[in-house]
Amino acid sequence: MERTLIILKPDSLQRGLSGRIITRFEEKGFQIVGMKVMKVSRELAEKHYAVHKGKPFYDRLVAYITSSPVVVMVLQAVNAITVSRKMMGATFGSKAEPGTIRGDFGLSNSYNLIHGSDSPEAAQFEIGLYFKADELIGYERATERWVYDTSAGDPE
């Protein structure tokens, strides 16, 4: 199983889309192992987006993520990063395909509703920024055998 960090950005909460977006991940089969509502501090935003420091959009990105509360989640699934990024769609809502989160709910190229880790290394770093180890709960779901075929051993 792989874990990824998902952030439902300020526009998701302000537009009342959080529940619908979370439902998409649950219906797909992702397991929520951590979730909270929080206000991202400037210091945390600067750590999270440090790789973008010096780029023209950096200050607006930090201002955006700190402008209003967000929902941060750690989701777990087989290929969680790849699958969640496909579900999110292209970065800019105006270019995202229908059927994706951004394609169905977004038009803006600045306000793009959701963040998801883009690699296992990024996921590990980002999860550590937003969650303490004891805030992540692993648990067995009764539905797990209906999400994955485990007849050959490993989930697929």
Catalytically active residues, by annotation: 115
- Smallest CA-to-CA distance from 15 within 94, 87, 108 is with 108
How far apart, in whole angstroms, are the C-alpha atoms of residue 1 and residue 76? 6
- Beta-bridge partners for 7: 72, 115
Task: Give the contacts of 153 (CB within 8 A, at least 6 positions apart).
Answer: none
